Amino acid sequence: MVMAATGSELNRKRRIGVLLICSMSLLIVGLDITIINVALPSLGHDFHASLAGLQWTVDAYTLVLASLLMVSGSTADRLGRRRTFVIGLVTFTAASGLCSLAPNLDTLIAFRMIQAVGGSMLNPVAMSIITNTFTNARERAQAIGVWAAVVGLSMSLGPVIGGLLVSSVGWRSIFWINIPIGLAAIVLALRFIPESRAPVARPVDVPGQALVILLLSTLTFGIIEAPSHGWASGMIVGVFAAAAASLAGLIVWERRVEVPLIDLRFFTSVPFASAAGVAIAAFASLGGFLFLNTLYLQDVRGLSPLHAGIDTLPMAAMILIFPPLAGRIVGRRGGRIPLTIAGVGLTTGCLMLVGLSATTSYAWLLTAYAIFGIGFGFVNAPITQASVSGMPRAQAGVASGIAATSRQVGQTLGVAIAGSLVAGSVSGTSVAHGFAQATHTAWWLLASCGVVILVLGRVMTTRWAAGTARRAAEALNPEALA
């Protein structure tokens, strides 16, 4: 009995250690998404960057993440999750050092893309490791709640830490923070994470991966560059046509190939498909929110990077506090309540900024930030749970890869669309003149993302939706349901 208890305790500690290591990887990837925003004005001044250049500084990273997350998830299932995870950590850590040395904006964007290649091997693989380590449904839900809390931690710490570093040392220092965390995670992963892989190896769907990259890159390029080239210009029309053709080709190909990159049968599960839609909407709202507010606080209100980061603390605190609560609610009551709170919070927070001006009171701003943070704090746990719950454990990497891709697609589109909506009203390398008024349309659009979450949150938590999830899981793998 004592030996059994001791073995059980060792297994519990090992599971906790695995969760900690996976959370460390999530922390640095999440930090790098949000920490860059507070450095954008400094980057713009040093490199004389246009608004489109600043958009690419953010979106080059999220675009590569979105393009590669799915193949990284399936590759980890095939070649080994720990091996893929460690390679990702090494690549991400090394590229972070290169970013800090970038001599110009184009080089920085290129290094950010390499950084994202490493990052693409971390988040979906970490979730797959967690899913296969915590086999008890209740423990898995609690672990996902912790994972979601780390998302909140990275999102909340990014602007504040970034503001402190940029104000005291300079923008290059925001990349240094990844290096010690990455090195520690590499050592711990090699020691504590057991190797695991799916029972059946999945071949790489090269045509499908190429079509995904073409789709996301052409769509993002068209949105960001359209204000400077003209929405009706031949180049932009051609780029959007290429995006549409890529989407059509992807759907046709994935239905025909024996082992697709994106198994479209996942999307016959209404909770899974809705979770992907909620992730896109939530992270589009977040991406646009951070991008617009960073430029507004520093270039319009004249705040230092540190003060701008401090002003986002109400949002950061809410994002940090509420994910564990959301995880507990999801584990006991399901996702409807958290998604309702998320939709209301994100919609209200964005609507409060529709009338933004250069003299908007700080009390109003901070209240809007806090409400937005409450909304976002409740969104990650339910969409994460819905994306993996009931799915075959052998395909956990693919399922979590699609969910993670949806987040990055949303983040990419949020920055691209929000920036493009204001680009026509600002000129040169300065965004200060007329910027606040130019954001009004963008805030209406970001508020609509909250409405989408409300609708999908209701749909995905019905009994009918649960039935579609069971049928999808049976179709995917009737003998290995999670």
Could you read off the pLDDT of 218-234 as tens digits, one per residue? Answer: 999 999 999 888 888 99
The residue among 83 and 157 whose pLDDT is bigger is 83
Measured N-to-C along each axis, helices 440-459 and 336-351 cross at an angle, to the nearest 10 degrees, of: 170
Same domain, 249 and 292: no
Token representation of residue 366? 């901070």
pLDDT in tens, 310-324: 898 899 889 888 888
Q: What is the pLDDT of residue 365?
A: 96
- Examine the pLDDT at 337 and tell me if it is beyond 90: yes
Q: Is residue 36 part of a domain?
A: yes
Please spell the DSSP secondary structure of 391-427, one letter per residue.
Answer: SBGGGHHHHHHHHHHHHHHHHHHHHHHHHHHHHTT-B
Q: What is the pLDDT of residue 216?
A: 93
Rounded mean pLDDT, 237-246:
96
Q: What is the pLDDT of residue 450?
A: 95
Q: Is residue 199 part of a domain?
A: no
Same domain, 129 and 211: no
- Examine the pLDDT at 5 and tell me if it is beyond 60: no
pLDDT in tens, 447-482: 999 999 999 999 988 888 888 877 877 777 645 444
Q: What is the pLDDT of residue 9?
A: 57
Q: Is residue 461 part of a domain?
A: yes
Same domain, 75 and 157: yes
Rounded mean pLDDT, 383-409:
73
Q: What is the pLDDT of residue 242?
A: 96
Q: What is the pLDDT of residue 204?
A: 80
Same domain, 451 and 357: yes
Q: Is residue 50 part of a domain?
A: yes
Q: What is the pLDDT of residue 481?
A: 43
pTM: 0.85
Q: Is residue 39 part of a domain?
A: yes
CATH code at position 24: 1.20.1250.20
pLDDT in tens, 23-59: 888 788 878 877 888 899 999 889 988 888 999 999 9
Same domain, 99 and 166: yes
Same domain, 48 and 135: yes
Q: Write the single-letter amino acid at 48.
A: H
CA–CA distance, 317 with 373 (Å, rounded to integer): 7
CA–CA distance, 275 with 405 (Å, rounded to integer): 12
Measured N-to-C along each axis, helices 270-295 and 51-79 cross at an angle, to the nearest 10 degrees, of: 150
pLDDT in tens, 83-115: 888 999 999 999 999 999 999 999 999 999 999
What band does 13 get if pLDDT is binned at 50, 70 and 90?
confident
Same domain, 342 and 441: yes
Q: In angstroms, how far is CA 123 from the centroid of its own chain?
A: 9
Same domain, 411 and 353: yes
- Examine the pLDDT at 1 and tell me if it is beyond 60: no
What band does 431 get if pLDDT is binned at 50, 70 and 90?
low
337 CB-side CA count, 13 A? 12
Quote the domain boundaries for residue 240: 205-260
Q: Is residue 198 part of a domain?
A: no
Q: What is the pLDDT of residue 197?
A: 75
Q: What is the pLDDT of residue 432?
A: 57
Q: Is residue 14 part of a domain?
A: yes
Q: What is the pLDDT of residue 75?
A: 77
Domain count, the chain: 2
CA–CA distance, 102 with 110 (Å, rounded to integer): 9
Answer with the one of 214, 244, 260 that is the final residue of a domain.
260
What band does 148 get if pLDDT is binned at 50, 70 and 90?
low
Q: Is residue 176 part of a domain?
A: yes
Same domain, 216 and 76: no
Same domain, 345 and 407: yes
Same domain, 305 and 419: yes
Q: What is the pLDDT of residue 433?
A: 59
The residue among 333 and 285 whose pLDDT is bigger is 285
Exposed e or buried b per residue across 280-307, where buried means at least 16 C-beta atoms within 10 angstroms of its C-beta: bbbbbbbbbbbbbbbbbbbbbbebebbe
pLDDT in tens, 263-283: 888 888 888 889 999 999 999
Same domain, 324 and 454: yes
What band does 241 get if pLDDT is binned at 50, 70 and 90?
very high
Q: Tell me the pLDDT of the chain averaged across its residues.
A: 85
